[in-house]
Structure 1
Amino acid sequence: MRDIPVNLGGYKLTVVEPPAPKTRDDGNGGLVPVTDQQGVTQFVVALFAKLRVGPGEKAPKGEEIKVTLASDPGEGFTEDVKVELIDARLNPYQIDNGAGRVTSGVAFKAMGLKAVHVRGDKS
């Protein structure tokens, strides 16, 4: 299964590392931008995700996630900005290194980011 829709509305998402063009190793020690099938540069943003809880409840420990964005989200997404993901999706993956070690996980992606202004948020 690919591009599984995911609802992260129950989480506070805070920018940890601002969006930047996604790159990969070119095999010669350099980096090249990652593009989609139409040649559009992909971006990546690191977010801290923490569960929203009700009054008097203690939130469990949060987690940092990296999200691939389909295009440049624009200006204003600096560190500590609260955001929502537009059309968030996840893709499970499994990589076998050929030496008996298998790594599994999920990769997040979204069409873009939207800034959220929360009153009285003390995250």
Structure 2
Amino acid sequence: MRNIPVNLAGYRLRVVEPPTMKMRKDDAGREVVVTDREGATKFVVSLFAKVKGEKGEEIRVTLDTDPGEGLEEGDLVELVDARVNPYSFKNDRGETVSGIAFSAAGLKPLDG
């Protein structure tokens, strides 16, 4: 199952690390920009997600589009078309690593 929609309406999402281009290491160990199948650049942002009265959690979200300039640490934001993708793979030590990855079509600022 891929791209499972997520309703984060009850959460306050605050920028922890401003959006940047998503990077990965290629087979030669060089940093390269992550793109989708059509060649569009992916972006990544770290957010603190919290429901009032409960503990929060930092999440890292891959964005399908450039969120634009002006988003800074501490800004309240909303994810556009938020979703999760489960993953599972064997690492180079033979251990199985599983979890979920957050993604969204975009990110928009909220007023305080």
Both proteins in one fold, TM over 0.5: yes
Q: Does 1:71 align with 2:65?
A: yes
Give the alignment of 1:32-43 within 5 angstroms.
Answer: 32-43=32-43
- Which ranges of 4 or more aligned residues in structure 1 deviate by more than 4 Å? none
Size of the aligned set, in residue pairs, is 112
Larger Rg: 1
Which of 97, 101, 107 is equivalent to 1:103? 97
Structure 1 residues 38 and 51, CA gap change in structure 2 (3 angstroms): same
C-alpha separation in 1, matches of 2:111 and 2:96:
41
C-alpha separation in 2, matches of 1:116 and 1:80:
11
Q: Provide TM-score, normalisation by structure 1.
A: 0.85
Which of 78, 81, 86 is equivalent to 1:84? 78
C-alpha separation in 1, matches of 2:30 and 2:76:
33
Give the alignment of 1:1-123 within 5 angstroms.
Answer: 1-52=1-52, 59-97=53-91, 99-118=93-112
- Residue by residue over 1:25-64, the C-alpha shift from the partner in whole angstroms, topping out at 9 and shown as x without a partner, is 0122320000011100000000000113xxxxxx221110
Superposed CA RMSD in Å reads 1.3
Calculate percent identity across the aligned residue pairs: 58
Q: Provide TM-score, normalisation by structure 2.
A: 0.93
- How many angstroms does 1:98 deviate by? 6.5
C-alpha separation in 1, matches of 2:10 and 2:67:
22
C-alpha separation in 1, matches of 2:102 and 2:57:
13
Amino acid of the structure 2 residue aligned with 1:10? G
Structure 2 residue ranges without an equivalent (≥5): none
Residue 60 of structure 2 aligns to a residue whose secondary structure is: strand
